[in-house]
Amino acid sequence: MEILFEVKNSTGIITLNRPKALNALNLNMAIQLSNKLKEWEIDDAVERVLLLGEGKHFCAGGDVKSVHLSGPFSELKREFFSKEYSLNLQINNFSKPYMSIWQGVVMGGGVGLSIYGDYIIATDSTKFAMPETSIGFFPDVGASFFLSKIKNNIGKYLGLTGELIQGKDLLNLNLASHYCPENKIDDLINQFIVDGSITKYEIETSSFFSNEKLDFINNNFSGTIHEIFNNIQTANDPFDLFKKLEHKCPMSLAVTSLLLKDSSKKSLNNCLEMEYRLSQKMTNRDDFAEGIQAVLIEKHHNPKWNPSSINEININELDKLFSDPIDNELKL
């Protein structure tokens, strides 16, 4: 079973159960999870929900490798992203307390399964990232909603670079709600199962971001991707951030910067609907196939992007990714 459900002392417990795939979410898991939440929403015997990942990791994201292997313009591309984004909204609207334990890797689709709940627990092992620009895609599952709300261009920085961040910064940026030391996780889980309460622990680790780096990001990561690149290079780039960006997919960078620029005042529904439109277009570009092949299948991490640099991006093509409607738009 790829996803497990049990009810223990009025707590519905969900376990993502694909540890060899770092619990990557596939269509079957998303359907089962959605159906179970509908059931538990109206079941008076279930008072709260707990989401866990089997093994050392929470969830490495959506199963985009299967999406790629399904071929161009496949039914799976429509069904998977439609169900995944609908599930993100369903979790946001779920009326009962919903807690996720972020152990190990938490990326992409794994963030979408948890960040809309009430309690998001960062641990000593948490490794959070939205790394989609490395595979010819863009930060989705509502990232345009939650990353655009982070002040001082930090959300845009995370979306463009795929930077991996941990406990202290997750709390500082309001991406996690609580911290729990690794050796207290079982206690925290048992406490939540017994009475729904959560002990607050203080985190002692320091922030990954120095004040100087925060200022640099705030001053230089605004505007279009062309403006950001120009800002970084003009500022002499003391943090080597240009190196983080130059190997990412140029069109993914352009899409991400534009998506986050225009989303800060949109509802989650609207953000997910726009992301769905983009998902159907981006997964059918050659860059997506190239990125999945290079990063997840052959693992040589040397994709050949087209266009190969931001200077070669066709602005009309970029605009059409956002503006041109698709068949079967997602309506939430």
Catalytic residues: 62, 109, 132, 140
Q: How many CB atoms lie within 10 A of CB 186?
A: 10
Asked if 148 and 263 count as a contact pair (C-beta separation under 8 A), the reply is yes
Residues sharing a CB contact under 8 Å with residue 247, sequence separation 6 or more, in sequence order: 134
Asked if 224 and 203 count as a contact pair (C-beta separation under 8 A), the reply is no
CA separation, residue 12 to residues 1, 34, 85, 188 (Å): 17, 13, 22, 15
Candidates 219, 135, 128, 217; CA nearest to 174 is 128
Whether the ω angle into residue 307 lies within 30 degrees of 0, i.e. cis, is yes
Cα(51)–Cα(12) distance, rounded to whole angstroms? 9
Asked if 256 and 322 count as a contact pair (C-beta separation under 8 A), the reply is no
Candidates 39, 305, 262; CA nearest to 156 is 262
Candidates 127, 104, 101; CA nearest to 192 is 101
Work out the end-to-end distance of the chain between its first and last CA atoms, rounded to an integer number of angstroms: 29
Radius of gyration (C-alpha) of the chain in whole angstroms: 19
Cα(67)–Cα(17) distance, rounded to whole angstroms? 19
Q: E strands along the chain, which residues?
A: 3-8, 11-16, 48-53, 98-102, 105-107, 119-122, 127-129, 178-179
Cα(126)–Cα(202) distance, rounded to whole angstroms? 15
CA separation, residue 151 to residues 10, 40, 148, 245 (Å): 38, 35, 8, 21
